[in-house]
Amino acid sequence: MSYLSNLLPYLPSLSGKQVLQANPCAITTRVLNEQLVESVTVLNAKQQQTESSTTSSNVIYLENDIASFNNSSKFDLIYAVDLKLVDLESESLLNVVDKSLSTLSSNGLFLVVESFSSGNMTPIDFISLIQSKIVELNAAQYGYDLVFAKPDANNNNQMSFLFTKIVLENHHGFKTLKEFMDHKQYTRNGVLRYEKIFGAGFVSTGGIDTTTQFLAELDLKPGQRVLDVGCGIGGGDFLMAEKYGVSVTGIDLSSNMIGIAWDRATQHSNLNVKFEISDATKNKFPNEYFDLIYSRDTLLHVKDKQSLFALFKQWLKPNGKVFITDYCCGPKPWSDEFTTYVDQRGYNLLTVPEYGKLFEDLNFSKVVATDVTNMFVDCLNNELDKFEKMKQDFVEEFSAEDFNYLIDGWKAKKVRCAEGHQRWGKFYCEK
């Protein structure tokens, strides 16, 4: 079976698309044709390799590699498997990225499969390098945005990456939301700081205590499938897999979050948990696949929440459940301080009733939207008390500046809650 076959459930429809296949593989070409693509152009295809390949009229064979390929055609998908791009010098890899960007149509896809069993480049380094490239086309700047980075189910050293070509915009001084999150909002040091205050494995309000309480409400059964959207560093996923015997897919747009989760997963190899760097708003999962979609304090980053919740409904089995906690807001007008806080972090906040109505408008059943700001404030107080007691150890590991930053941030949240501007919502519904 072609490796591509395993990825098809996570890709948009290829029907009618023009595909550039960067490796000569007759099985892959056949799989593409079975997807009713319009055409396949196969690179690195020397005569002796093509004689045994498909002879379909919509297949073109070329001896060029992707770096030397020149063609005026625009492709919808470039598929490159085991080209050993991770072994190239940075400049050579960027030349390939430049060529692929120039060859793809707008919103075209670059699907890459690479092995990381050797060499110094990590998957996170690979993503950063590919997303660093900018190409000027028709007075616009184009680059890649990550859709997913997915380890192979049977070989964690092999990774699949799906990038989409986009027009680059300004996200608080960064080219993409992902770059803003990786280099500003959730740096690795910042993530580890949060873990200290929330507790080992957790980066959301209340840590293991609120997670344990909320999971007890969900009636999880062994063998059920859970999608955790914005899984952070994975503590909640390990907990629910171990306690309830469920299979968990944890996704997060932050490379630093998932990088830590991948490291921690080696300590939980007996659990059915896997992690992906993934943009939930661009990703695709099989329809009617999950029993529960779970998310903790993450969707505040998502502007079009209703479109995302419509995807949730597609991915859920009949009677499947959604459980979310998220930062919310009080009605406007807001204070200048709260407005600045929201703008600096790129949050997209709704009131608790507005949030709940999104599910009602999508015809979810049993919708319950609850303002749990009092619980949020209790958690803030408990975390501040705990954090003050660990000051010396924290300062030794990080810095006094880091300590004061978190203390001041937690106190500011309490003030915003008291003023009615910052709220915390809990949401439940069923398909």
Q: What is the pLDDT of residues 371-384, one digit of tens each?
A: 999 999 999 999 99
* Residues 148/152/157/161 CA torsion (nearest 10 deg): -20
Query: pLDDT value at position 268?
Result: 94
Tokens representing 20? 């550039």
| Strand (E) or helix (H) holding 319 | strand 316-329
Q: Domain boundary residue among 137, 168, 199? A: 168
284 contact partners, CB below 8 Å, separation of at least 6? 9, 10, 11, 12
Task: Mark whether 101 and 196 lie in a shared domain.
Answer: no
Q: Looking at residue 117, what is its pLDDT? A: 78
User: What are the C-alpha distances in Å from 376 to residues 133, 226, 401?
Assistant: 41, 25, 25
Tokens (6 digits) for 415: 């003030």
Residues paired with 226 in a beta bridge: 248, 292
Q: Are 272 and 241 in contact (CB under 8 A)?
A: yes
Do 296 and 204 share a structural domain? yes
**Pick the residue with more confidence: 395 or 155?**
395
- The reply to whether 176 falls in a domain is no
Q: What is the DSSP-derived secondary structure letter of residue 181?
A: I
SS3 labels along 54-78: CCCCCEEECCCCCCCCCCCCCEEEE
Give the tens place of pLDDT for each residue, 246-285: 999 999 999 999 999 999 999 999 999 999 999 999 999 9
Please state the domain count of the chain.
2
Pick the range with the lowest mean pLDDT from 120-124, 191-195, 272-276: 120-124
Q: Is residue 178 part of a domain?
A: no
The pair of three-digit structure tokens given for residue 214, joined into one six-digit string: 């909320």
CA torsion angle 341 342 346 347 (round to 10): 140
Backbone angle region of 49, left / alpha / beta, with phi > 0 → left and psi within -120 to 50 → alpha = alpha
Check residue 225 and give its pLDDT: 98
Residue 73 lies in a domain: yes
134 in a structural domain: yes
Q: Write out pLDDT tens, residues 138-175.
A: 889 999 999 999 999 888 789 999 999 999 998 888 99
- Residue 197 shares a structural domain with residue 251: yes
Domain boundary pick from 115, 143, 168: 168
156 and 243 both lie in a single domain:
no
Phi-psi region of 153 (alpha: psi -120 to 50; beta: other; left: phi over 0): alpha
C-alpha 289/C-alpha 76 separation (Å) is 27
Q: Are residues 164 and 210 in the same domain?
A: no
CA dist., res. 414 & res. 408, Å (int): 10
- Strand 75-81 and strand 316-329: the pairing is unpaired
232: containing domain: 183-430
pLDDT of 226 strictly over 60: yes
Q: Do 239 and 388 reside in the same domain of the chain?
A: yes
- Quick: pLDDT tens for 346-364: 999 999 999 999 999 999 9
272: in domain: yes
151 in a domain, yes or no? yes
Same-domain pairing of 161 and 69: yes
Judge whether residue 181 has pLDDT over 50: yes
pLDDT confidence band for 48 (50 / 70 / 90): very low
Q: Where are the beta strands (DSSP E) in 83-230?
A: 104-115, 135-137, 140-151, 158-167, 225-229
331 cis-preceded (ω within 30 degrees of 0): no
Q: Is 141 strand, coil or helix?
A: strand
Residues 116 and 250 in one domain: no
Average pLDDT, the chain: 93
Lowest-confidence region among 85-99, 312-326, 339-353, 381-395:
85-99
Can you tell me the distance from the alpha carbon of 334 to that of 399, in angstroms, rounded to the nearest whole number?
Answer: 33
Contacts of 413 (CB under 8 A, 6+ apart): 376, 380, 422
Cα–Cα nearest to 186, from 96, 107, 256, 128: 256
Same domain, 215 and 153: no
CA distance 238 to 82: 31
CB 114 within 8 A of CB 84: yes
Which residue shows structure tokens 């408008």?
A: 361
Q: Each residue of 307-319: pLDDT tens digit?
A: 999 999 999 999 9
Buried b / exposed e along 392-408 (16+ C-beta atoms within 10 A): eebeeebeeebbeebbe
Whole-angstrom Cα distance, residue 13 to residue 35? 8
In a domain, 227, yes or no: yes
The pLDDT of residue 49 is: 52
The answer on 193 and 125 residing in a single domain is no
Model pLDDT, residue 54: 55
Q: Residue 185 — φ and ψ, nearest 5°?
A: -75, -40
Look at residues 112, 141, 168 and tell me which one is the last residue of a structural domain.
168
Please, which pLDDT band fits residue 69 given cuts at 50, 70 and 90? confident
Determine, yes or no, domain membership for 8: yes
- Region for residue 26 given its phi and psi (left: phi exceeds 0; alpha: psi -120 to 50; beta: otherwise): alpha
- Whether 323 and 415 have beta carbons less than 8 Å apart is answered as no
Q: What is the DSSP string of 391-417?
A: HHHHHHHS-HHHHHHHHHHHHHHHHHH
- Region for 349 from its dihedrals, namely left if φ exceeds 0, alpha if ψ lies in -120 to 50, beta otherwise: beta
Q: Are residues 303 and 415 in the same domain?
A: yes
Q: What is the CATH number of the domain that holds 129?
A: 3.40.50.150
Name beta bridge partners: 273: 248
Spatial separation of the C-alpha atoms in residues 350 and 308, rounded to whole Å: 15
Same domain assignment for residues 70 and 210: no
**7 or 70, higher pLDDT:** 7
In whole angstroms, give the CA distance from residue 172 to residue 148. 22
